[in-house]
Amino acid sequence: MKTLHRVLIFFAAGLIAAPALAADWAPTKPVRFIVGFPPGGATDLVARILQPKLAVSLGSQVIVDNRPGANGVISMQILSRSEPDGHTVGMSHIGSLVVSPAIQDVKYDPLKDFVPVGMLVTLQNILIVNPSVPAKTLPEFLAMAKAQPGKVNYASSGIGSPGHLAIALLETMTGVTLNHVPYKGGGPAVTDLIAGHVPSFIAVISTAVPHVQSGKARAIAVTGAKRAEALPDVPTMAEAGVKGYAAINWYGLTAPPKTPAAIVSRLNRDFTAALQSADVVKQLKDRGIDASPSSGAEYLNYIRSEQKRWGPVIKKAKIEPS
């Protein structure tokens, strides 16, 4: 009985101490925040908005490390080989966790080879065109595409990117055929759209907002189920005539495999606090982005649901790696 009593005391002590473990861990060197796209895109923007808040709360320098390539796959491969000590985290998203693993050997299992820390943000895509394009509405854009099957070019931030998926869904629901021109990120793509090198771009909304507001690009429709606060006059795809259409984008935080639970809890706490701060919420809202923090378990379940939802679309669209 004495032995059992002693065990129960230790067990209870463990339960009482457990919540403090996250607070006990703290970085001892700069924290590297890996982003799988070049500067100028939405993933980079979100990371840099969060960066100063995290540096204060974590008590350590936070370095945004841009590692573009293969729709975020390269950054996730780097993350999978990183030390699980809390000093390296990565931005994950639909391209690197849902699309690319479905169409190629990415050398990692998106559900088993990482530790999900939590959702960060959700946001819409938006179809924009160069002002020289005659189409001003979605019906006009679709009519232009139907008149030239496979000849109207559209840019995206990469093969299997949220924009690519959004157009694949649009093609499936309307019967149009567009020509995909993949870029290595939203920054280079919007630069070419403004320069007139590509007529249309299915962009992450944060990348498009300043250019639409300045008149350098024309907004056609957003891809979510509701209008974006940053561009309230732009209709949704459903409002513009494609009933039932909805496709949103999301970014989450992922840690290397075998990262201890105490470290994951601390990271989730600090990132959640940053996402809930008033100035960060405003900065994100101004670019059409919604702060959407969650637990690691909730993020993992969401990834699973996205795999089920987009799997048939990926297969039907015959999306293949470059």
- Residue type at 271 in one-letter notation: F
Task: Summarize pLDDT for 19-33 with one digit per residue, the tens.
Answer: 444 458 999 999 999
Report the Cα 202 to chain-centroid distance in Å: 14
Residues 115 and 129 in one domain: no
Residues 110 and 142 in one domain: no
Tokens of 259: 């990262």
Q: Is the pLDDT higher at 177 or at 7?
A: 177
Residue 6 belongs to a domain: no
DSSP single-letter state for residue 70: G
Residues 135 and 155 in one domain: yes
pLDDT value of position 297? 98
Which CATH number characterizes residue 213's domain?
3.40.190.10
Q: For 276, what's the count of Cα atoms within 13 Å in the CB-facing half-sphere?
A: 8
Residue 18 belongs to a domain: no
**For the chain, how many structural domains are there in total?**
2
Q: How far is Cα 262 from Cα 18, in angstroms, rounded to an integer?
A: 8
CB atoms < 10 A from the CB of 102, how many?
Answer: 16
Q: How far is Cα 224 from Cα 215, in angstroms, rounded to an integer?
A: 22
Residue 300's pLDDT band (cuts 50, 70, 90):
very high
Residues 267 and 301 in one domain: yes
Residues 177 and 205 in one domain: yes
pLDDT value of position 185? 85
Backbone angles phi, psi at 219, to 5 degrees: -85, 135
Task: Give 31's strand partners.
Answer: 62
pTM of the entire predicted model: 0.84
Q: How far is Cα 269 from Cα 258, in angstroms, rounded to an integer?
A: 19
SS (H, E, C) 249-277: EEEEEEECCCCCHHHHHHHHHHHHHHHHC
Q: How far is Cα 40 from Cα 220, in angstroms, rounded to an integer?
A: 22
Residues 262 and 278 in one domain: yes
Task: Summarize pLDDT for 97-124 with one digit per residue, the tens.
Answer: 999 999 999 999 999 999 999 999 999 9
% of the chain beyond a pLDDT of 70: 93
Residues 138 and 196 in one domain: yes
Residue 307 belongs to a domain: yes
Residue 179 belongs to a domain: yes
Residues 205 and 260 in one domain: no
Best CA proximity match to 251, nearest among 46, 68, 33: 46
Last residue of a domain, one of 204, 222, 240: 222
66 Cβ contact partners less than 8 Å away, ≥ 6 residues apart: 35, 37, 38, 39, 44
Domain that holds residue 132: 124-222
Which CATH number characterizes residue 73's domain?
3.40.190.150
Best CA proximity match to 154, nearest among 121, 126, 182, 176: 182
Residue 23 belongs to a domain: no
Residues 254 and 115 in one domain: yes
CB atoms < 10 A from the CB of 221, how many?
Answer: 26
Residues 265 and 195 in one domain: no
Q: How far is Cα 135 from Cα 130, in angstroms, rounded to an integer?
A: 10
Residues 118 and 134 in one domain: no
pLDDT value of position 238? 97
Residue 188 belongs to a domain: yes
Tokens of 73: 């796959």
Residue 312 belongs to a domain: yes
Residue 103 belongs to a domain: yes
pLDDT above 90 (res 281): yes
Q: How far is Cα 202 from Cα 68, in angstroms, rounded to an integer?
A: 19
pLDDT above 90 (res 18): no
CB atoms < 10 A from the CB of 279, how many?
Answer: 11
- Average pLDDT on 190-200 reads 97
Q: What is the biggest distance separating any 2 CA atoms in the chain, rounded to whole angstroms?
A: 85
Task: Summarize pLDDT for 56-102 with one digit per residue, the tens.
Answer: 999 999 999 999 988 899 999 999 999 999 999 999 999 999 999 99
Residues 76 and 61 in one domain: yes
